[in-house]
Amino acid sequence: MLGRVNPHTKAIRVLLVSLHVAMPCLAGCGGTEATGIGAVRLVGPGVVNNPGNKSLRFDILKYGLDRFCFEMTRRGTPLKTQDDQPVIGRFFADSCQSRALGDLERKSFVVQFSGKGYVWTNVTARIGFTAAGLVEYAPDFQLADDGSMYIYFRPLRLDAVSFETKFVEYSLVQAGASLVGIDPNEIGQQVVKSQLDRGFTVIRYDDDGNMDFGIGLVRRGSQPFKPFRLSSEDKVELANDRTALHSGQQDYVGGFEVTEDSQALYVVLSLEGTPAIDVLVVPKSVGDVMIQQYVSAPGPAFPTAPAAMDDALVSGQLWKRYVRVPPGQYYVVLDHSAGPGQSAPTLAGGQDLPARVDYGIQRGDAP
């Protein structure tokens, strides 16, 4: 179980660090200084949850806006068809601007973003794309009785969501798209818009940085789907989810920040569906170059420098490793291709054997 802290003494700190998180971001960060809102330390859920306290609540929400886009550009946003289904792609924001709309009745803010990403569908195979858009969110939060903070981001308006396909992996699909009525732009854009339409929820459990992220609106007291139950006594949970990789595909999970020389990334994985895949841990500078290549051209991307870790994940075994790395940001790269790493996809009678990977990633002191 995750540790709990008295909600009457932790409310402001919990909220402020929660709002340091954008769509994909689970990293904890400090900072409790905020003029005019220190009084929240002295109140409990009943007062803070009262919708009549509009000025107090909106002032707290605005405090986190200066970090919203900063965090959004640090990690890939997972793309899913449903909350409990595997990840089918990711979006990586290159730029982001946010601003609050100060009307207390409206109580919203606008995020304008652009970036790149990839998504796999059984109609198109992998699509590499760029996308941009403007979303107006209605943020709100609720304190649970145990002190957990649920931050809700409800979409009010989607404007000018543009989508441009950079490539479609299968040349057959590209050649025959117009003949069979397949429009990769329309398919990819629908995947991205469907994520934005659902909004998202950030759940902050304690002052140690333990939190969850859920696509859609997670009911207070509930938790998003997580395949692993990870110990949090001495570690911060950064990711806990499920992804699916077809033959020839990769997935870039992160970036995850290591803040001190004494820290390590702890990675727990399990694999089903195919005999083995490769796992690499690379610095964000290397991973960013790989992602750019991966969203721009067919085939796997290769690291431009040695990986901090390069290992094989074998089906049917719980895989646990820790990687001690210098302070910085890192991606965990899952590779189901004949490119980097030690393994290559196995075909059964010429058929694709997709890999289903459960992953849990934490940050903690190195042994």
The pLDDT assigned to 3 comes to: 37
Rounded CA separation 149/233 (Å): 19
Most confident of 72-86, 110-124, 195-209: 110-124
The pLDDT assigned to 221 comes to: 81
Q: Does residue 214 surpass a pLDDT of 90? A: no
Q: Where are the domains of the chain?
A: 7-215, 235-365
Q: Does residue 290 surpass a pLDDT of 70? A: yes
Q: What is the pLDDT of residues 318-353, one digit of tens each?
A: 999 999 999 999 999 999 999 998 888 876 666 778
Architecture of domain 235-365: Sandwich (2.60)
Percent of the chain with pLDDT over 70: 74
Q: Does residue 255 surpass a pLDDT of 80? A: yes
What's the burial of 347, exposed, middle or buried (CB within 10 Å: 0-12/13-18/19+)? exposed
The pLDDT assigned to 7 comes to: 35
Q: Does residue 308 surpass a pLDDT of 80? A: yes
Mean pLDDT for the stretch of residues 73-96: 88
Q: Which residue has the tokens 């009457």?
A: 8
Query: CB neighbours (10 Å) of residue 122?
Result: 7
Please report, for residues 102, 122, 340, the alpha-carbon distance to residue 25 in angstroms, rounded to integers and kept in the order given: 25, 28, 27
What's the burial of 61, exposed, middle or buried (CB within 10 Å: 0-12/13-18/19+)? buried
Rounded CA separation 63/191 (Å): 31
Choose among 225, 242, 227: nearest CA to 356.
242
Q: Does residue 250 surpass a pLDDT of 80? A: yes
Please report, for residues 35, 57, 143, 283, the alpha-carbon distance to residue 62 in angstroms, rounded to integers and kept in the order given: 12, 9, 17, 32
Kindly give, in sequence order, each residue whose CB lies less than 8 Å from that of residue 147, ignoring residues fewer than 6 positions away.
4, 5, 6, 7, 10, 11, 14, 206
Q: Does residue 143 surpass a pLDDT of 70? A: yes
Q: Which residue has the tokens 């042994």?
A: 367
Minimum mean pLDDT among 119-133, 219-233, 244-258: which range?
Answer: 219-233
Q: Does residue 115 surpass a pLDDT of 90? A: yes
